[in-house]
Amino acid sequence: MKIVLPLAKTELHQQLEVLLKRYRQRDRIYDEIQDAYGREHAGYQGEKQLDYYLHLANLKNTFSLAGLRLKWDKYYFQIDRMILTPSVCIIIESKNLKGEIILNEEDQLIQQTPDYQKSYENPYNQVKLQEKQLRHILNNLGYSNLPIHPLVVFTNKNAILNLGGKPDMIALHQLTFRIDHLIQNYPKIQTTSEINKLAHTLFKKHTRKLENILNRYKLNFYALQTGVICPNCERRKMARIHGTWICRHCKHQDRQAHIAALRDYATLINRIITNKEARRFLEIDSRNTIYRLFTKLNIPKIGNKKGTQYNLEKFLP
């Protein structure tokens, strides 16, 4: 299996991760951020579990795209995992839910744990809607004869599924065998090179969803902890002394610790930064120090003299 679009943390996941580290207060908003991050991280870990079982399947001459986000008509839709084969396009919706998972007569998904009960829309309807949207795109690309098969995979190994034995709503450990069965039972209708071309065409159409987490929680720059945070103890700010960064708490030293801080800035605030903004965020007084650091890092410049800005995109995943 060739990975065309690898699994990566979403923009929301990355921003929550940084915000959790740099939000100053320990208040209700912090608890909301922590809860949101927990959900995003659990989903990401669940999707990582898919890789192991997919690699055990017979996926020679197939192509994988994770988190593929496409636009059809006016709207975007995202597919957790797409497996393109010469015989079938398999799309997977992953759900990382714990407890007992029940599909009731009203077509609701019910999650029951010792602490709470929640209802969700049937995720199979969600992935069937993705199938319908994807069908339009494949038809326009000349792949109208390629079947699309939707699956829902519950990735939490501690979940107890009570779904009425539906073959396309399965536990994680069933994924390998279900994939093998599907590929064996769909006839080959495309060449490997044609599927390879389709995979890369879809990759070019992929649009990452942008987020603004500060707006979501109605926060501004002053709600954030600035400075270079120690990568060793992850608790205290580091001081710049004689060309290196030193943590006064654990005494860890790191000459490149400012890179992580610049990555935080690009993730959370803006991918473009000025010398003045960098001084404020890194807590460095000297304009020349920032200039030397940015020059050594070979950060792309926009404009010149006092209007110079720097593009931090190279530090992002």
- Are 293 and 164 found together in one domain? no
Q: Based on the domain organization, do 280 and 156 belong to the same domain?
A: no
**Of 260, 273, 278, nearest to 316 (Cα)?**
260
Domain of residue 289, CATH code: 1.10.10
Looking at the structure, do residues 182 and 281 belong to the same domain, yes or no? Answer: no
| Position 14 pLDDT exceeds 90 | yes
Are 200 and 98 members of one domain? yes
Q: Are residues 181 and 236 in the same domain?
A: no
Average pLDDT value for residue range 24-43: 94
Do residues 170 and 287 both lie within one domain?
A: no
pLDDT score of 281? 97
Same domain? For 34 and 144 the reply is yes
Phi, psi of 311 (to 5 degrees): -95, 120
Per-residue confidence band for 165, with pLDDT thresholds at 50, 70 and 90: confident
pLDDT tops 90 at residue 238 = yes
- Is 219 domain-assigned? no
Tell me whether residue 6 is exposed, middle or buried, using C-beta atoms within 10 angstroms of its C-beta: 0 to 12, 13 to 18, 19 or more: exposed
Residue 210 covered by a domain: no
Instruction: Assess whether 191 and 235 both reside in one domain.
Output: no
Any domain includes 74: yes
Dihedral over alpha carbons 12, 83, 177, 41 (to 10 degrees): -10
For residue 233, the enclosing domain spans 226-315
Q: Average pLDDT, stretch 265-272?
A: 96
Burial class of 289 by CB neighbour count within 10 A (0 to 12, 13 to 18, 19+): middle
Structural domain count of the chain: 2
Residue 122 sits in the same domain as residue 194:
yes
30 and 176 co-located in one domain: yes
Identify whether 220 is part of a domain.
no
Same domain for 45 and 165, yes or no, is: yes
Q: What pLDDT, in 10s, does the model give residues 91-139?
A: 999 999 999 999 998 899 999 999 999 999 999 999 999 999 999 999 9
Task: Provide the pLDDT for residue 304.
Answer: 84
Does any domain span residue 217?
no
Output the average pLDDT for the chain.
95
Last residue of a domain, one of 205, 239, 266: 205
In a domain, 151, yes or no: yes
Which pLDDT value is given to residue 152?
98
Whole-prediction pTM value? Answer: 0.89
Identify whether 216 is part of a domain: no
| 99 is a domain residue | yes
**Which CATH number is 26's domain given?**
3.40.91
- Going by C-alpha positions, the residue among 154, 176, 191 that lies closest to residue 62 is 191
Structure confidence at residue 307 as a pLDDT band (50, 70, 90): confident
With a cut of 80, say whether residue 180 has pLDDT above it.
Answer: yes
pLDDT 10s digits, 71-85: 999 999 999 999 999
pLDDT at 53: 96
At 317, the pLDDT band (50, 70, 90 cuts) reads confident
Give the whole-number percent of the chain exceeding pLDDT 90: 91
Query: Do 306 and 162 belong to one domain?
Result: no
> What confidence score (pLDDT) does residue 86 get?
97
Taking only Cα atoms into account, the Rg of the chain, rounded to an integer number of angstroms, comes to 23
Give the pLDDT band (50/70/90) at residue 233: confident
Q: Which ranges constitute the DSSP H helices of the chain?
A: 11-22, 28-56, 123-140, 175-185, 192-205, 213-216, 258-268, 275-282, 287-296
